[in-house]
């Protein structure tokens, strides 16, 4: 069946499975038909032999136990029959002389019964059927149960042999049908294996079967995500090269100048450039550390207020040396977040470090922690930068620090907000979690 111009994989598989079942049924039907006709011929021929022997005089009956007669008279299907007939209550015919061995001095009752002869010419179990006519005359027909069981075993053997011979064909047909029905999945796998994600190749959205639509869409979405990730990585590599180029070039020039004229000023300039390059490399290491998913497990969570106080305490000396006023505002009670303490500290440390490092002397840097009905978060504000800036010079690692905080915030389920600074503050960066955080 088709919907939207594309067939259904469900109906495709059903059609091949149904076709295989039809072929199997036809094969079994043909085998049963042939076996039935064969057994009917054999049984009919056997009955002819049995009746012919029965109608001959007892002394003229050929023995069926000789090798020639076994093949000629179909011993398996020629059952040994014995007939006893009574007229007017008097036994008038006994083909095998069984009356005395069975103790039948009078006609037996009508119907089916099993009898056993302990002596005489027919020792063993026999099945007897007695029928009477309107005049009261009766006929008893007996068949050897051993012969009947042998005939049943022979018939069952022929049927079982036919089924066993057909079984390999049935298995082959089913294997072929399953393989053919699942061929579209193999083709889709081959298409996926041939994809060059580096070149941005995508699967054809108009794939043959409509059940593949969601799978194709998911694969194409994955390819688009890989492409976007590759573009971000290339942009990040470009930023890294750009950020490192200036301090390294300045470091080379400063080292050359210091070698020619080793003044304290020249050496201080070399030291400053080396520290600047070191800060950029440290940010790169922090970013790589944040991207190690297995190493940065959420653990037992973090107390936002306690962690903000720890970060502020670490930066007190740095703020004092740069003549900044560093303050912290937080609620008295704990503010627990189910996030990695390492990630949260990394992001907050970068915000505070940039605020202290890239604002003029004598300015304020404020850390504020809050938790209300709308959101939970922490912000870092200062009154020494223009709104929307994360550093003062490109060589200070302007792009890397912000990228680092953005990636860490996304991993923690938070959003990085900029702006909305309240006077006298001019610049504000905040990590904000909604009231019902999705990561919880």
What's the length of the chain?
A: 440
Helix (H) or strand (E) holding 101: helix 99-102
Average the pLDDT over each of 107-121, 184-198, 344-358, 398-412 and give the range with the smallest value: 398-412
| pLDDT score, position 392 | 43
User: What single-letter DSSP state applies at residue 369?
Assistant: E
Average the pLDDT over each of 55-69, 124-138, 283-297, 414-428 and give the range with the smallest value: 55-69
The fold adopted by the segment(s) 197-290 is Helix Hairpins (1.10.287)
The answer to whether 197-290 and 297-440 have equal CATH topology is: no
What is the Cα–Cα distance from 38 to 32, expressed in whole angstroms?
10
Give how far Cα 359 sits from Cα of 6, 231, 260, 274, Å.
Answer: 63, 32, 34, 20
User: What confidence tier does 293 reach under pLDDT thresholds 50, 70, 90?
Assistant: very low
Which tens digits make up the pLDDT trace of 48-90? 666 666 666 454 555 544 455 544 444 556 677 888 889 888 8
Which tens digits make up the pLDDT trace of 416-429? 998 878 888 889 99
**Percent of the chain with pLDDT strictly greater than 90:** 11
User: What confidence tier does 211 reach under pLDDT thresholds 50, 70, 90?
Assistant: low
Please say whether the beta carbons of 401 and 390 come within 8 A.
yes
Average the pLDDT over each of 120-134, 310-324, 396-410 and give the range with the smallest value: 396-410
| pLDDT score, position 394 | 41
Break the chain into its structural domains and give their ranges.
Answer: 197-290, 297-440
Q: What is the mean pLDDT of the chain?
A: 77
| pLDDT score, position 2 | 47
Closest-CA residue to 141 (of 101, 100, 119, 110): 110
Which has the higher per-residue pLDDT, 399 or 183? 183
Does residue 424 have a cis peptide bond before it, meaning omega lies within 30 degrees of 0? yes
CATH architecture of 297-440: 2-Layer Sandwich (3.30)
Q: Say if residue 383's pLDDT is above 80.
A: yes
User: What confidence tier does 433 reach under pLDDT thresholds 50, 70, 90?
Assistant: very high
């Amino acid at each position: 069946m088709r919907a939207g111009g594309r067939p259904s994989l469900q109906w495709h598989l059903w059609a091949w499975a149904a076709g295989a079942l039809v072929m199997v049924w036809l094969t079994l039907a043909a085998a049963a038909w042939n076996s039935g006709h064969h057994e009917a011929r054999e049984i009919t021929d056997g009955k002819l032999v049995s009746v012919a022997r029965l109608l001959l005089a007892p002394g003229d009956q050929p023995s069926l136990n000789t090798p020639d007669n076994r093949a000629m008279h179909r011993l398996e299907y020629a059952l040994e029959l014995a007939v006893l007939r009574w007229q007017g209550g008097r036994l008038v015919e006994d083909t095998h002389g069984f009356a005395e061995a069975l103790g039948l001095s009078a006609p037996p009752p009508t119907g089916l019964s099993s009898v056993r002869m302990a002596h005489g010419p027919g020792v063993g179990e026999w099945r007897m059927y007695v029928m009477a006519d309107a005049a009261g005359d009766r006929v008893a027909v007996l068949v050897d149960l051993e012969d009947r069981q042998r005939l049943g075993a022979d018939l069952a053997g022929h049927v079982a042999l036919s089924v066993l011979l057909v079984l390999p064909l049935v298995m082959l047909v089913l294997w072929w049908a399953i393989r053919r029905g699942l061929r579209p999945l193999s083709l889709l796998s081959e298409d996926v294996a041939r994809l060059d994600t580096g070149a941005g190749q995508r699967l054809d959205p108009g794939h043959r079967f409509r059940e593949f639509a969601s799978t194709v869409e998911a694969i194409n979405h994955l390819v688009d995500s890989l492409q976007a990730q590759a573009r971000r990585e290339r942009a990040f590599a470009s930023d890294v090269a750009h950020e490192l180029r200036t301090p390294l070039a300045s470091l080379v020039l400063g080292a050359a100048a210091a070698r020619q004229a080793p003044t304290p000023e020249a050496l201080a300039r070399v030291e400053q450039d080396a520290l600047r390059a070191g800060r950029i490399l440290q940010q790169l290491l922090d970013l790589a550390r944040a991207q190690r998913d297995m190493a940065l497990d959420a653990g037992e969570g973090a107390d936002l207020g306690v962690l903000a106080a720890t970060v502020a305490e670490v930066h007190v000396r740095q703020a004092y040396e740069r003549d900044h006023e560093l303050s912290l505002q937080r609620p008295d009670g704990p503010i627990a977040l189910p996030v990695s303490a390492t990630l949260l500290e990394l992001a907050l440390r970068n915000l505070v470090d940039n605020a202290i490092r890239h604002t003029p002397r004598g300015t304020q840097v404020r850390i504020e922690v809050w938790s209300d009905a709308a959101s939970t978060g922490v912000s870092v504000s200062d009154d020494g930068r223009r709104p929307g800036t994360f550093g003062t010079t490109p060589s200070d690692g302007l792009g890397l620090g912000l990228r680092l905080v953005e990636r860490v915030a996304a991993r923690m389920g938070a959003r990085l907000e900029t702006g909305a600074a309240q006077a006298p503050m001019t610049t504000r960066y905040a990590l904000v979690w909604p009231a019902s955080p999705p990561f919880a």
